[in-house]
Amino acid sequence: MTIYSFVRSVVGGILKPTYRIKTLGLENFPQEGGVLLCTNHIHNFDPPVVGITAPRPVHFMAKEELFSVPILGKVVPHLNAFPVKRGMSDREALRKGLNILKEGKVLGLFPEGTRSKTGELGKGLAGAGFFALRTDAKVVPCAIIGPYKTFQTLKVVYGKPISMDELRSSKASVEEVTDTIMNSIKQLLEEHKK
pLDDT tens digits along 136-166: 999 999 999 989 999 999 999 999 999 998 8
Q: Which helix (H) or strand (E) holds 24?
A: strand 21-24
What are the mean pLDDT values of the chain's consecutive 10-residue runs (194 residues total)? 90 96 98 98 95 97 85 84 77 93 97 89 93 96 95 97 92 95 97 86
Q: What is residue 2's predicted lDDT score, i.e. its pLDDT?
A: 86
d(CA 122, CA 132): 19
CB 159 within 8 A of CB 37: no
The domain 3-192 belongs to what CATH superfamily?
Glycerol-3-phosphate (1)-acyltransferase (3.40.1130.10)
Could you give the count of Cα atoms lying within 13 Å of 8 in the half-sphere of its Cβ? 18
pLDDT of residue 74: 82
How are beta strands 58-63 and 35-39 bridged, if at all?
A: unpaired
